[in-house]
Homo-oligomer: A and B are copies of this chain.
Amino acid sequence: MEITPPYLLFLGDVKDNLAAKTGLGIVDWRPEWCVGQLRLEGCNADAGIDDLSIDNAVAKGAKTFVIGCVNAGGMLPDHWVETIVAAVEAGMDVASGLHSRLEEFPAIKEAAERNGVKLINVRHSDQKFATGKGSKRSGKRLLAVGTDCSVGKKYTALAMDKGMRERGFNATFAPTGQTGVFISGRGISLDAVIADFISGAAEWLTPDADENHWHVVEGQGSLFHPSFAGVTLGLLHGSQPDAFIVCHEPTRTNMRGVQTPLPTIQQVIDLTIANGKLTNPDIRCVGISVNTTALEDAEARAYLQGLSEEYQLPATDPVRYGVAPIVDKLVEVYGV
């Protein structure tokens, strides 16, 4: 799946920034790829970039019209179709993270065929993968894992990728979810792969590389989430990480969307190693990444300090305090 930048971000008429978090995430991490945003009347989301018409965006070089928002239900509403068709008529590819496939709309499909542009459905993988082989590949891999879903795994991996490159590491971000795919322009939405090919897809995503190269892999789900742990385990086996970071949100008590209680960070470390050593016997935890939004500064610092002492590992909030302590740990263990 390849998406050609730069992008015109479509935010529809969604009711808040949360419904446009894919678009906002792209602007956060790849501002240079976003020529502008297009919002319909009544849109309450704002990515903080120029509002552009389709024609102006194309004049500024936009190659792909990215649907960076989600309606209630994740389906494509009929009243967005006219704008999408106009983007196609102007020669842009269209990329969508919605559950609906773009081709399901005859007007979009017909216009795309007539204009010779690509329709990309990030949530649907039509790519064929081999089953996982489990053999050791060259190069190194870092994986973000979590005590739960939605605890900052993607943000942590992106921040580590950036922080490592700034410190001279040869690193590549490997996306496994839709926002990550938009940010890197390639990759797979791992949760949409057929079950037999999860680890094979993760192997495809993190192939053989130079011995000092790092694939920095966005995590998915949690080994302790009863809905999604199969995806998490296939990704763990396929990405065969040398190092992993545990991501955590300290106010969470239950796994997202279900009744299962949250595991401790120690349980996550132990079960990740117990399972992960199948494809990488040297797997180890190199840090803890915490979303401390709910805590005051002093409280957050004390909490991180406590974790760091308890686990004898660097603990940080990548948004608030940066990832330097964990990058230091990588330098100490592996060199640059």
Which of B134, B196, B226, B274 interacts with A271 by CB under 8 Å?
Answer: B274
CB of A115 within 8 Å of the partner chain: no
B132 near A226: Cβ-Cβ < 8 Å:
yes
A212 on the B face (CB < 8 A): no
Question: A interface, how many residues as a size bin?
Answer: 35 or more
Q: Mark A185-228, 1 if CB is under 8 A from B, else 0.
A: 00000111111101110000000000000000000000111111
A223 contact set on B, CB distance < 8 A: 233, 275
Query: Which of B191, B194, B198, B259 makes the CB contact (< 8 A) with A134?
Result: B259
A253 at the interface (CB under 8 A from B): no
Kindly state the separation between the CA atoms of A226 and B135 in the bound complex, as whole angstroms. Answer: 9
Q: Is the CB of B200 within 8 A of A195?
A: no
Alpha-carbon gap, A223 to B229, bound state (A) = 12
Nearest opposing residue in chain B for A234, CB measure = B230
Q: Provided the pairs A275-B271, A278-B260 are in contact, do residues A227 and B195 lie with their beta carbons within 8 angstroms?
A: no
Q: Chain B contacts of A279 at CB under 8 A? A: 226, 260
**Quick one: closest B residue to A192, CB to CB?**
B194
Residues of B within 8 A of A237 (CB): 226, 229-230
List residues of chain B with CB within 8 A of the CB of A235: 230
Taking the nearest CB of chain B, how far is it from the CB of A271, in angstroms?
6
Q: Mark A215-258, 1 if CB is under 8 A from B, else 0.
A: 00000000111111111111101100000000000000001011
B278 adjacent to A226 (CB under 8 Å): yes
Q: Is the CB of A191 within 8 A of B199?
A: no
Once bound together, how far apart are the Cα atoms of A37 and B220, in whole Å? 47
A133 located at the interface, meaning its Cβ lies under 8 Å from any Cβ of chain B in the complex:
yes
Closest 7 CB pairs of A and B: A134-B226, A230-B234, A191-B196, A131-B227, A132-B227, A198-B230, A230-B230
User: Could you name 27 residue pairs across A and B whose Cβ atoms are closer than 8 Å?
Assistant: A131-B227, A131-B228, A131-B257, A132-B227, A132-B228, A133-B258, A133-B259, A134-B226, A134-B260, A190-B195, A192-B194, A194-B194, A196-B227, A196-B231, A199-B229, A200-B227, A223-B233, A223-B275, A226-B238, A226-B279, A230-B231, A230-B235, A260-B278, A271-B274, A271-B275, A274-B274, A275-B275
- Interfacial residues, chain A to chain B (CB-CB below 8 A): 131-135, 190-196, 198-200, 223-235, 237-238, 255, 257-260, 271, 274-275, 278-279
